[in-house]
Structure 1
Amino acid sequence: MARELSMEDRQAIGRTLALTGHIFDRGELNRLEEIFTPKVVYDLSDVGAGTFEGVEAIRNGALKLGAGNPIAHHVTNIVITGQEDDLVTAQSKGLIIMADGSVASVTHLDTLRSEDSTWRISRRVILAQRTPLGGLHLTHTGER
């Protein structure tokens, strides 16, 4: 049976998710180990950037993308969606701002692992928000 998450756990999970934006936006890629497990899988395939396995691969991918990286990442609407022992799943919304001023919305699907009382992301999937209502309006006939 999974242990109940404490308020401290919930705050630490939220802090880890929020810290991703600060670390990337400041270019503090030497701090990625604070937010990711060593064998993290970071799946950006939905936005055309592929999948990175391991902290070093994420660091190298960000450096390779260079000026193509967003200048600002904003994480919001964090919801813990599941828990099993020392694993938690969460989803959150993200806004990214590019150097040209364009803005995009994404959903983060995260799995976090607790190791030594520290919550870090072990898997992150980024999904782009491309249509209103998740596309529901495209199939709605307008009838009640």
Structure 2
Amino acid sequence: MALTTDDRIAIADLISLHGHLVDRGDFAGLAALFTEQVVYDVSAFGGGALVGLAAIRDAGTALADANPVAHHVTNIVLRETADGVVHALSKGLGVMADGSTGSVTYDDTVERTAAGWRITHRIVRPRRTPLRD
């Protein structure tokens, strides 16, 4: 089944909402983005794979002022598989309190649930070297 325009908008909004929620510390709001047992893989940053909303909340709370002050997402590309699962690839920019910035790639698995589209798995990879995957 092909993704409809409404599906594409809903998934893009889902991915975009992440920055608004975490930037204001609304970790309870992450239930609107992720499944309860989401795997949020920040291994490339030394944080391992966080499993579940509580683990994401705890990690964000523990970072405290080391969190970015702003998360921006762009370049969202969606690809549906035969089983209806959507793979979303996007770019993220993080702005730190001191004004420095960083770039990441978000690799998301998105599935339709009874509550709507939700991210079931996210891998966050830093972009530190040009011209490399």
TM range (shorter): over 0.9
Aligned partner of residue 84 in structure 1, secondary structure: coil
| Equivalent residue, structure 2, for 1:60 | 58
Runs (4+) of structure 1 exceeding 4 A deviation are none
Letter in 1 for 2:74: T
Structure showing greater radius of gyration is 1
Say whether the 8 Å CA contact 2:77–2:88 is kept in structure 1.
Answer: yes
Say whether the 8 Å CA contact 2:68–2:95 is kept in structure 1.
Answer: yes
| Equivalent residue, structure 2, for 1:32 | 30
Shift of 1:50: 2.1
TM-score (norm 1): 0.88
Instruction: Give the fraction of aligned pairs with identical amino acids, expressed as a percent.
Output: 46
Alignment RMSD (CA, Å): 1.3
Aligned partner of residue 15 in structure 2, secondary structure: helix
Aligned partner of residue 110 in structure 2, secondary structure: strand
| Equivalent residue, structure 1, for 2:86 | 88
Equivalent pairs, count: 133
Match status 1:45 vs 2:67: no
Aligned partner of residue 97 in structure 2, secondary structure: coil
Letter in 2 for 1:83: T
Shift of 1:132: 1.2
TM-score (norm 2): 0.95
Moved more, 81-90 or 104-113: 81-90
